[in-house]
Structure 1
Amino acid sequence: MTSNTKIIEDGRSCSIAIIGSGAVGCYYGGRLAQHGNDVHFLMRSDFDHVRQHGLQIRSPLGDFELPHVPCHLTTADIGPCDLVIIAMKATANEALLDLLPPLLKPDTILLTLQNGLGSDDFLAQHFGSQRVMGGLCFVCINRISPGVIHHIAQGQIALGEHHGPPQARTHDLAAEFQRCGIECHIEPSLIAARWKKLVWNIPFNGLSIAAGGIDTAAILANAALERRVRDLMREIIDTANQLGHDIPLSLIDTMIERTRTMSAYKPSSLIDFLAGHEVELDAIWGEPVRRAAMAGISMPTVEELYQQLCSAVSSRQHD
């Protein structure tokens, strides 16, 4: 397979597997299915409900339902696809070594929508860099009950290649997302885009837990916490720039003002923490600190938050 492989042939829908059918996977998979693509969902907890009742998406862009959803308990039941969208937590990536092979054709593309750093490299190591694309989701979204997804705000995807500049297939996939009502733009550098997203994820996902289980509005309503958000953002941007990823400091004000429009939004890491699920400690906080250290750069503010989160998760497990 070459990086210029065409994803969607003219006049034919794309066969897509969604691995990780939580809020993100069901929302974007639902949008793609709504507009005619052949989308199959790997499901666990919601399997029986969705098989009987379908999916509901509640969105400011318009609610819709998919009454008949192809959902499966194994990837062997799905079979080879054109595109595999990975939306599961990065904490479960080792499971992909068994989940992905039944889905692969010679030209199957793997698109990871996972948070943090490292997932693209993991897929490239085991399945070949030429297959791998990454997408960064900027979306406020929650699964509010079995088979019901609440899209609150935003929803755009930033798309990039694991290795090298955008290719024909990058533009093809971006166009297909756009056709399906998903705002999408192409990033010249996926790794730079991932650092840019960390500017939001590290402080807001982290402080929502470290400050006692509070939402984004409560974080920004507290002057001391807002200062800490700004300090964290500044350190992440400084580190990214030293690593060769050009991110302007003006992004701090842009992100904070955009977050004010989200109202009382609970970040995904807080939801996982409160539910007793695994938190993506390594991908979002640990890996950036390690990569910086390998380059001789210290991130004391981020590392302090990382240690707080490790302690919070450890304490929760022992309660």
Structure 2
Amino acid sequence: MFSGGTRSFWVLCYVIEFRWRCYTEAVTTGNRSIPPSCTVIPWCRRSVSWGRFGDSSPDIVRRRIAIVGAGAVGGYYGGKLSAAGEDVSFLVRSGLADLRREGLSVESPAGALHLPSPRVYDNSGEIGPVDLVIVAWKATANESYRKVISPLLHSTTAILTLQNGLGNTDKLAELFGADRVLGGLCFVCINRLSLTRIRHLGQGLITMGEFEGGLTERLQDLTECFEAAGIQCGAVRDLIHAQWVKLVWNVPFNGLCIAEGGITTEDLLSCPQGEQQVRSLMREVVAGAAALGRRIAPEVLDKQIRSTREMGDYRPSSMIDYLEGRDVEVEAIWKEPLRRAEQAGAKLPAWKRLLGRIRRRLEERG
């Protein structure tokens, strides 16, 4: 049996030899990402990190992750991944100086989190290629996909979008290749208090799936990566079905809270008429999904209403955008799913009326 000092010496020798093999292969191939032969375990599991010695053990490493959009969703999940030891960089459009000065803070019933010195940038070229890109900005910014994401890619970079609605994964696949793209649906109560502070009120599940479908090893690795950071995560075989399940909530709650002038989910469910409108829209979303070959179980409606009551006086993200004068994700959440469902033969009058009400509210707001 080796003594502690002898064991440490041989571990160090192994790490140096392993790192040298990675370096020589990179020089030979011209590939600055981790060469396949230097990956101990699949891409999202812990393997040897590029360009640094993290832990003294050769089978432990931090994945390189870029969070594109460090608002409430990106800040919360990126913060948890960073706190768990992943190599996380945040790309922001505003608040760069504030985040560098104050750090990133998350208030949560599960425990507070503070990153005193998060790596924040306002240019993706400064981050460079990473192993995983997490897109967490609003779908209204999607015209910048190519410009922002391209500098973050190496040959095997995966792209996970946590955006609401439909059409986001399709556009990413069109630009960067379907084999790179995954989608994630966040079921979380969360608000951004300031440029540096996020309040997590409850929940937090992410449901993930491959754009091309199926339960792949990469998808399993990715869910394990998030679970290790304390993020409840589940993998699904059919991403489109999961997207429609999320729309069952987003269409009525985000939509009606805007259409009624900026009310909370608690306000909406506090009267029978409000709940009736919610259920009517939920049933139409289920019908739209069915027209596209995706069956959503009836109990999903009751479950979502029950969980929404448990949120209390919650302000949906689209309603906050509406009140604060920002762009609202009308295309991704209401228009594109409605278009696809109607094209498949669904009749959805309440959904169409809601879309009209939202548009009028936005026109009045200016």
Deviation at 1:5, TM superposition (A): 6.3
- The structure 1 residue matched to 2:62, chosen from 7, 10, 13, is 13
Alignment of 1:277-292 (within 5 A): 277-292=326-341
Deviation at 1:176, TM superposition (A): 0.9
Residues 214 and 266 of structure 1 are in contact (CA less than 8 Å); yes or no, is this contact kept in structure 2? Answer: yes
Give the letter for the 2:257 counterpart: S
Deviation at 1:7, TM superposition (A): 2.7
Tell me the C-alpha RMSD between the 2 structures: 1.4
- 2:43 is paired with a residue of what secondary structure? coil
Structure-1 residue corresponding to 2:300: 251
Structure-1 residue corresponding to 2:241: 192
Deviation at 1:242, TM superposition (A): 2.5
Q: Distance in 2 between matches of 1:235 and 1:198?
A: 10
Give the letter for the 1:8 counterpart: R
Give the letter for the 2:62 counterpart: S
Alignment of 1:35-54 (within 5 A): 35-54=84-103
Alignment of 1:24-39 (within 5 A): 24-39=73-88
- 1:145 is paired with a residue of what secondary structure? coil
- The structure 2 residue matched to 1:208, chosen from 253, 257, 270, is 257
Q: Distance in 2 between matches of 1:230 and 1:282?
A: 22
Deviation at 1:52, TM superposition (A): 1.0
Deviation at 1:187, TM superposition (A): 1.1
- 1:61 is paired with a residue of what secondary structure? coil
Deviation at 1:225, TM superposition (A): 1.1
Determine if the alignment matches structure 1 residue 260 to structure 2 residue 309: yes
- The structure 2 residue matched to 1:123, chosen from 165, 169, 172, is 172
- 2:154 is paired with a residue of what secondary structure? coil
Q: Distance in 2 between matches of 1:236 and 1:44?
A: 33
Structure-2 residue corresponding to 1:72: 121
- 1:138 is paired with a residue of what secondary structure? strand
Q: Distance in 1 between matches of 2:238 and 2:172?
A: 17
Residues 113 and 135 of structure 1 are in contact (CA less than 8 Å); yes or no, is this contact kept in structure 2? Answer: yes
Give the letter for the 1:312 counterpart: R
Deviation at 1:9, TM superposition (A): 4.1
Q: Distance in 1 between matches of 2:194 and 2:343?
A: 43
Q: Distance in 1 between matches of 2:61 and 2:295?
A: 39
Q: Distance in 2 between matches of 1:304 and 1:29?
A: 37
Residues 291 and 341 of structure 2 are in contact (CA less than 8 Å); yes or no, is this contact kept in structure 1? Answer: no
Alignment of 1:156-175 (within 5 A): 156-175=205-224
Q: Distance in 2 between matches of 1:153 and 1:51?
A: 27
Deviations 1:130-170 (A, max 9, x none): 00000000000011012000000101100100012020010
- 2:193 is paired with a residue of what secondary structure? strand
Residues 287 and 346 of structure 2 are in contact (CA less than 8 Å); yes or no, is this contact kept in structure 1? Answer: no
- The structure 2 residue matched to 1:102, chosen from 151, 169, 172, is 151
Structure-1 residue corresponding to 2:274: 225
- 1:261 is paired with a residue of what secondary structure? helix
Give the letter for the 2:91 counterpart: L
Residues 6 and 168 of structure 1 are in contact (CA less than 8 Å); yes or no, is this contact kept in structure 2? Answer: no
Alignment of 1:122-161 (within 5 A): 122-161=171-210
Q: Distance in 2 between matches of 1:124 and 1:9?
A: 27
Q: Distance in 1 between matches of 2:259 and 2:348?
A: 18
Determine if the alignment matches structure 1 residue 93 to structure 2 residue 130: no
Determine if the alignment matches structure 1 residue 23 to structure 2 residue 72: yes
TM-score (norm 2): 0.84
Deviation at 1:6, TM superposition (A): 2.7
Residues 208 and 235 of structure 2 are in contact (CA less than 8 Å); yes or no, is this contact kept in structure 1? Answer: yes
Deviations 1:197-240 (A, max 9, x none): 00000000001011121000000002111101000001111221
Deviation at 1:8, TM superposition (A): 3.2
Give the letter for the 1:134 counterpart: G
Q: Distance in 1 between matches of 2:42 and 2:343?
A: 35
- 1:279 is paired with a residue of what secondary structure? coil
Q: Distance in 2 between matches of 1:50 and 1:191?
A: 35
Determine if the alignment matches structure 1 residue 62 to structure 2 residue 111: yes
Count of matched residue pairs: 316
Q: Distance in 1 between matches of 2:175 and 2:333?
A: 21
Greater C-alpha radius of gyration: 2
The list of structure 1 runs, each at least 4 consecutive aligned residues, that deviate by more than 6 angstroms after superposition, is none
- 1:157 is paired with a residue of what secondary structure? strand
- 1:114 is paired with a residue of what secondary structure? coil
Residues 60 and 153 of structure 1 are in contact (CA less than 8 Å); yes or no, is this contact kept in structure 2? Answer: yes
Q: Distance in 2 between matches of 1:260 and 1:22?
A: 25
Name which structure has the greater RCO, CA cutoff 8 Å, separation 6+.
1
> Tell me, which stretches of 5 or more residues in structure 2 are unaligned?
1-35, 48-59
Deviation at 1:251, TM superposition (A): 1.1
